[in-house]
Chains A and B, each alone.
Chain A
Amino acid sequence: MRARAATRSTGRNRGWLWLAPAVLVAALLFGTAVGETRIPLATVIEVLAVKAGLGSAALDPIDASVIWHYRLSRAVVAACGGASLALSGLILQALLRNPLAEPYLLGISAGASTGAVTVAVAGIGAGLLSMSAGAFAGALTAFALVAALARAAGGGTGMRGAGVIILAGIAGSQMFNALTALIIAQSASAEQARGIMFWLLGNLSGVRWPDSWVAVPMAALALGVGLWHARTLDAFAFGAESAASLGIDLRRTQALLIGTASLATAIMVSIAGAIGFVGLVVPHAMRILVGPRHARLVPATALAGAVFLVLSDVVSRIVIPGQVLPIGVITALVGAPAFAVVMIRGRQR
């Protein structure tokens, strides 16, 4: 009995932990193998093996370039972005005690877009890092604004509070999207504007290896912070006050965790635009699969988020032949119904 309890508390079924890298590799391989131009799986594996230094063979330079520079980099960034966004959602849901909390719905993504676009249009420093910084500033501003609005409107915890903060998030999203549109209309050239609009919908087309130098550390950071704070996140089950009485330093924790969630969102927005609903769908699915304990929920959410976004990206490339849909369209098509389900289940409680 004691032994059983012990395994339970330290993480039952460690087996899937070993499965996780395998699933991730399979998803990446799948994401790399599927595309507009048909390339046999054998060729894909051969290219990857050679590039990884596991042998040498004569490669078709075009195939090799497509596979290595376009598809694999894109799959890797999709995986990291999916993990980051899903973890952001998980963290926000736990801290705000709100099943609908998610960077996109809370307006954090919209704020990040405004920040990134401002930097891009103004041409400050140009490049991914300065755009990320702008996006981060925008994300934090948006969260602060939405939280203040929700508080002023009397939102607390519970389903009513959940509704209030989502309403505040919608208001914030609308405002920041309008601001973004204004900035584009004011200062971007027609060509710039078209590019920005496409990117805003959530798009991985422009992704290359340099993006992964930011995306990979970000995903690792989000996962690390999440794992380190797994018990802290658990302690919020009965609300912030209860967490405080269990020894959680609310201010420090909220600043660190919400900061991480905002940064993860900001980085992803500056790479690929606002991709919605990943942070909603994935954590809820994982709660059903592995239960409410964050020691298991955090790694499961990271993995599932990664796989989900890689697969969404694949779907976005093949669903209409000869045309690439913005990935945000795919995640929204899955996410909006999931949102409805969560909302209906929340009401029934």
Chain B
Amino acid sequence: MTPILEAVGASHAVRGREILSDISLRLHPGETLGLIGPNGSGKSTLMGLMAGLLRPSRGEIRLEGRPMARLGRRQIARRLALVAQSAETAERITVRDAVELGRTPWLGPLRPWGAQDDDAVAAALDAVDMAHMAGRDWASLSGGERQRVHIARAHAQAPRILLLDEPTNHLDIHHQIAILDLVARLSVTTVIALHDLHHALRCERVMVLRAGRCVALGPPMEILTPALIREIFAVEAEIIPHPRGGRPVFAFQRLA
């Protein structure tokens, strides 16, 4: 099976300094991959590479088997949506305006707005529980509400691949779980950068980054061991099995 998104020895350098080195990764259709790593380890940079917004200095990114560099922006945007770590606007747009932007790759001067676009926007607003705020001004939203609107915008883009850079940032526990449930429900391939290791347990695989390098890649239960957590985050952790067979719980004791 050709991977839907593939990184082949991809690196990224800024002014001669490599901030991401030799990342190789094959994403299978429908899977959810968690990206874990300390601040500055290169998660957002990898997202940028996979979204085609940054050029690899070495190696290659392939989307559905084709080199990203040879695809047009619009072709990419119809297949892949990105929710960046932060994106703000000073324009006086409403929630609905922001979500409607997600339809951009499907529209053009000769392909005007239609009923299916309205449906996509309505479904996206519902999915993040923001339909009742559709008319609100962007400036009046809380941080978590903005994050949900960004996710709705990406949803409205109807992508096959969703790249989410710390999407649970700013969200209360209800909406954190709601977003993860939504991602699980959608049949899209998802890459999701996370800081909460409990959330990472819900991913099919996780990739652990440190200083721009991939340290581990595999199912979270196999990867996220106390030894790895000590090595990567310099924190002593214990893993406590769930008493009734649910996902285990991390107990973080102290800095290592």
Contact = CB atoms under 8 A, between A and B. Distances in A.
Interface of A: 2, 5-6, 8-10, 97, 99, 158-159, 227-232, 234-235, 237-239, 241-242, 244-250, 287, 291-293, 346, 349
A291 B92 CA distance: 7
A250 B54 CA distance: 13
Nearest to B83: A245
Contact of A249 (B73, B81, B82, B93): B73
A9 B113 contact: yes
Contact residues of A: prevailing secondary structure: helix
B118 A249 contact: no
Given A5-B118, A6-B113, A247-B76, A241 B53 contact: yes
Given A237-B98, A287-B92, A246 B107 contact: no
A246 B102 contact: yes
Interface of B: 51, 53, 72-78, 81-82, 84, 87-93, 96-98, 100-102, 104-105, 107-109, 112-113, 115, 117-118, 121-122, 139, 157
Contacts, number: 92
A6 B102 contact: no
Given A234-B101, A234-B104, A287-B92, A239 B113 contact: no
Given A231-B107, A244-B73, A292-B97, A5 B91 contact: no
Contact of A242 (B84, B92, B105, B139): B84
A36 B90 CA distance: 44
Contacts of B84: 241-242, 245
Contacts of A246: 77, 101-102, 104-105, 157
Contact of A9 (B76, B109, B117): B117
A293 B53 CA distance: 25
A90 B115 CA distance: 29
Contacts of B122: 2, 5
Q: What 5 A-B pairs have minimum CB-CB distances, sorted nearest first? A: A247-B77, A247-B105, A247-B74, A238-B87, A246-B104
A16 B139 CA distance: 28
B118 A9 contact: yes
A349 B138 CA distance: 12
B168 to A, nearest CB: 19
Contact of B115 (A2, A228, A238, A241): A2
B104 A235 contact: yes
A250 B117 CA distance: 24
Contacts of A250: 73
A38 to B, nearest CB: 44
B90 A346 contact: yes
A26 B80 CA distance: 49
